[in-house]
Structure formats: C-alpha cells, structure tokens
C-alpha cells in the first residue's frame, strides 16, 4: 500500500497527520510550490545579506540569551550554530521513544517549513529525509523550561543533522554519523541561523501534546464503555442517561458520552425504570458529566496544538518580503502548558471515576448481589481466596499517583539563564506529565475492565447487554476468569497491549 505524502509549508498539518508521520505511516516533503520555495530562499537570503553587511543579528552575530551583548565577529559567527547545538547537549533522564522522537521532528520541520525562520531548503529537505528514513534523534526527556522553547530537547534534532550524538535507526541505537552514512547521507554544515531555528521553538512540547491528545480522546471513549458496563453489571438505572437530561445542560461532549452509554445499555424512554434503586451513586450516574469534561476540553486543546504545529515559533523571525527582522517571544510555550495542565486534570478525573466504580463492584454493600471482591471460587475453600482485593489496591495507588500529577506545571516558572529567561512556561514538563497521567489511567482502565469481565462471569452473560458481552468475549479470548487466587499483572499487561493496539471493541469515537 502506498503511503500518503504530506506537503509541508503551505497547508496546515492536523494532529492526526502529525501522528501518521510519527508512526511512519506517511511521508513528509517540503511543498514544491514555487511561492513557498521562493519564501524559504528569501528568508534565508536576508540573514546572509544582513550578516554580509556586518549588521547585528541576534544569535548570529551576537551571543545567545543574556549573552546577546557579546559581539561575535564574522569569522567566528560560522562556528556559532554548531556551538549552540553542543553546549545544549545536557539533557537528562530517560529517553523519549521512537514515536515521540519522530513526532518532535515532524512538528519542528512543519514549523520551519512555513518559511519565516531562515532555514534553507536543504535543511528542511534533510529533516524530512530523517523522518522518512526513520533516523530519529535519541532525546532525553528532561531539561526544557519551555522558553526559549525546547532548546535542549531540540538540540538533539540539530545534532542529528550535523552527525553528532545518538539516533534510533533500523531497530538499533547508534552514532548519528554512522546512521547517516548507512542511509547514504552526509552531515550538514549549518548556516548561521539554522541551529537557532531548529532549537528555539515549542516543537517538543507540542509533539508530546499531539500524542497526549490522541490518547486522551481514545481513553474518553473507553471510559464511556467501561462506565456503561459498570451500570450494566451493577444492575443500575439506564434512565440516568436519557437524552432529555443532557438537552437541558447541553455540553456537546457530555451529551456524546451519555449517547454512548444509552446505546450500550439499549435504553429507550418507553422502557420505564429498570432498577430497584431510584438513583445510582455518582460514579455511575454522573459518568457522562465526568468523562464529558474531557470530551468538551478536546476541541479547545486541538485548536491550541494545531496553531502551535503550524506556527513560526522561533526567534528572530524574518519577513521574507522586505527583510525586516522580528525579535519577539513566539518560542514561549504558555498555550501548550495551559492545554496540557488542563488535559492531565481531566484525564486524572477519569481515573478517579473508574476507581470509584471498581470500589462499587468489589463491595457487597454496593454491588447488588455480587460476592465480595468478585471472588469466583465455588467450593468451601472460597474463604481462602480474595479475588480482586489487591487489584483494587493497585488501582487506588495508580489513581492517587495520577491525581498527584495534576498540580499545574506552569505555576512553577523559574527565572533562569542569568535572568534573561525570567518567566518560562514549563510546557514540556506539563506535556510529559500529561503522558504519564495517561499511562496511569490507561492501566486503571485495564484493571477495571478485568473486574467488569469478572462481574459478567458472576452475573451471567444472559443478564448482560450485548455490548457488554461483546467486550467480555474479547477479553476472555486471552485472559481467563479468575476462579482462584493468582498473579494478575500479566493480565493487566495483556489488556493494555491489546487496547493500545486498537484490538478491543471500545466503540466508535465520534466528535463532540
């Protein structure tokens, strides 16, 4: 099957296209449109012309940041772009994986291809080639304050271009110079503004944000299905999800979650009340209102991220038409920080919701006739078995950790770099937090799903709705019922693996 090709520079990229590029399911090329190519050449030419006239250009004929008062003579200016890459080689912590690295490269080249950063065609084409051949920088997770953009993480992208540091290539980690040679490419010598153009922007946090957005959207759909299953196996009241209720408080995402639950439970107003208890507890009755917050936040988050993906966000920028140099702060990641701080809070609330539903399932006081801890052992030795008791403890631990991480990163701005960067966004930390919260909440969901399937076994498939039975059947194809105490960590991982591979019937997503 032929891969789609995305032309970068004129047409905006969507989050979904960023993900396709990151996954290697699409190719990136610099748009061949003559107007775009002329803009790129003009912007690069203005930097060369101004430097040739001996004029002052920040980061080209001056030092960087607070060192901008240092005048750099022309014979030394040619060393500056490589020096910038090298002294920012101080990232720490774990490394982003290939998916995150590819997303970062994709978002960075999309920004530079707008043609306002002074990057030459050869550099833009090289970045596309790195992405397409999957020569991906190995980038440490830590070290960015989110203004001046993601300097340290993006220095690893620039280092790959010049053949330095390490990369992922053909299933291995190897020196960048070796990977380039194996791919038939030579390291590039950077022009004076080009390392600053690659490094001084919001592309690491934005790329991580795109990945988080996609995962959060799928998680919301999963949470809707799990909440409907919880209502089903607890013999709850499906009338709580009557469309008329949500027409009177018409948040679109909330209404969509309620629709998912109605469809799952096959509810119709003519059915009348179906439960013995007139109102279910909040973690079931209010599930659309809780998951709906996440669904209703996603359109605003999408707008923020797609503006960032398709923006010129380094400094200085140049007006290609008249050569004016524009010194500003487009590298500031405040919007991404705000979006990711909000996203991780909405996602963590989903964990809290599912954790409470699991508590209802495990307690004979609230589970409407199911055995305590969902113990399924039939014989006299059942008193020596404990079912899902420890699974609930693990779920509570994961939920607590996800809630702890909701502290907004943006409020921890620190003045740094000789007080030049005296107010910073912490956007990359917020994005990393969001991905960590998603990882935790996906695991909470896997535990809850296993418990729900155990409840189906105990209740009997004939007592459950068809969509509940469909999910139960999908899980039981690879995880057996827990009829005696055993390790369940392997079960959790098996569910996570299939969920992340899109192999579970969670239902159609839709848009709010």
- List residues with catalytic annotation: 58
Cis peptide before 316 (omega within 30 of 0): yes
DSSP letter, residue 12: P
Query: How do 92-95 and 140-142 pair as beta strands?
Result: antiparallel
The H or E element spanning position 92 is strand 92-95
The tokens for 330 are 């487009």
Contacts of 67 by beta carbon, 8 Å cutoff, 6+ apart: none
The C-alpha torsion from 150 through 156 and 158 to 161, rounded to 10°, is -160
376: number of CA atoms within 13 Å, CB side? 18
Beta bridge partners of 29: 7
Q: Cα–Cα distance between 496 and 398 in angstroms, integer?
A: 14
Find where tokens 């002294």 sit.
87
Compute the Cα dihedral for 216, 295, 346, 448 and give only its sign. negative
Decide: helix, strand or coil at residue 417.
Answer: coil
Contacts of 152 by beta carbon, 8 Å cutoff, 6+ apart: 88, 89, 90, 91, 140, 143, 144
Q: At what angle do helices 287-309 and 252-265 cross, to 10 degrees?
A: 130
Helix, strand, coil distribution of the chain in percent, nearest 5 = 60, 5, 35
Q: Cα–Cα distance between 424 and 507 in angstroms, integer?
A: 41
Cα angle 343, 345, 351; round to 5? 110
Would you say 507 and 467 are in contact if contact means Cβ atoms under 8 Å apart? yes
Q: Cα–Cα distance between 167 and 176 in angstroms, integer?
A: 5
Would you say 340 and 427 are in contact if contact means Cβ atoms under 8 Å apart? yes
Decide: helix, strand or coil at residue 114.
Answer: coil
């Amino acid at each position: 099957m032929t891969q789609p090709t995305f032309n970068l520079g004129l047409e905006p990229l969507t989050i979904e296209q960023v993900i396709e590029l990151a996954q290697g399911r699409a190719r990136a090329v610099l748009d061949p449109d003559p107007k775009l190519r002329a803009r790129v050449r003009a912007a690069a030419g203005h930097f060369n012309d101004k430097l040739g006239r001996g004029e002052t250009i920040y980061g080209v004929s001056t030092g960087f940041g607070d060192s901008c008062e240092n005048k750099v003579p022309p014979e030394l200016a040619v060393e500056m772009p490589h020096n910038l890459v090298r002294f920012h080689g101080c990232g720490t912590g774990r490394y982003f994986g290939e998916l995150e690295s590819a997303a970062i490269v994709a978002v960075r080249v999309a920004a530079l291809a707008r043609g306002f950063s002074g990057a030459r065609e050869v550099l833009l084409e090289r970045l596309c080639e790195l992405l397409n051949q999957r020569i991906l920088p190995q980038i440490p997770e830590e070290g960015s304050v989110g203004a001046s953009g993601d300097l340290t993480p993006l220095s690893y992208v620039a280092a790959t271009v010049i053949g330095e540091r390490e990369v992922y290539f053909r299933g291995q980690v190897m020196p960048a110079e070796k990977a380039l040679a194996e791919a038939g490419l030579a390291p590039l010598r950077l022009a004076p503004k080009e390392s600053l153009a690659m490094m001084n922007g919001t592309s690491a946090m934005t790329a991580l944000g795109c990945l988080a957005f996609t995962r959060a959207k799928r998680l919301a759909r999963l949470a809707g299905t799990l909440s409907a299953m919880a209502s089903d196996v607890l013999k709850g009241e499906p009338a709580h999800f009557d469309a008329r209720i949500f027409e009177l408080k018409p948040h679109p995402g909330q209404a969509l979650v309620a629709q998912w639950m109605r469809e799952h439970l096959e509810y119709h107003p003519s059915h009348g009340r179906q439960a013995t208890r007139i109102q279910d507890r909040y973690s079931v009755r209010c599930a659309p209102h809780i998951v709906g917050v996440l669904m209703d936040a996603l359109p605003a988050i999408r707008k923020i991220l797609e503006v960032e993906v398709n923006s010129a966000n380094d400094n200085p920028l140049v007006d290609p038409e008249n050569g004016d140099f524009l010194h500003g702060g487009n590298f500031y990641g405040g919007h991404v920080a705000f979006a990711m701080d909000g996203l991780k809070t909405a996602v963590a609330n989903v964990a809290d919701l599912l954790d409470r539903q699991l508590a209802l399932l495990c307690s004979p006081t609230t589970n409407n006739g199911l055995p305590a801890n969902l113990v399924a052992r039939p014989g006299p030795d059942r008193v020596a078995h404990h079912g899902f008791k420890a699974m609930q403890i693990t779920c509570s631990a994961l939920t607590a950790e996800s809630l702890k991480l909701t502290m907004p990163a943006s409020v921890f701005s620190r003045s740094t770099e000789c007080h030049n960067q005296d107010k910073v966004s912490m956007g990359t930390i917020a994005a990393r937090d969001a991905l960590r919260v998603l990882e935790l909440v996906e695991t909470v969901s896997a535990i809850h799903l296993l418990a729900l399937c155990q409840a189906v076994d105990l209740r009997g498939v004939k007592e459950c709705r068809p969509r509940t039975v469909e999910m139960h059947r999908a899980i039981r194809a690879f995880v057996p019922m827990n009829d005696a105490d055993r390790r369940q960590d392997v079960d959790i991982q098996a569910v996570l693996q299939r969920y992340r591979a899109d192999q579970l019937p969670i239902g159609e997503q839709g848009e709010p």
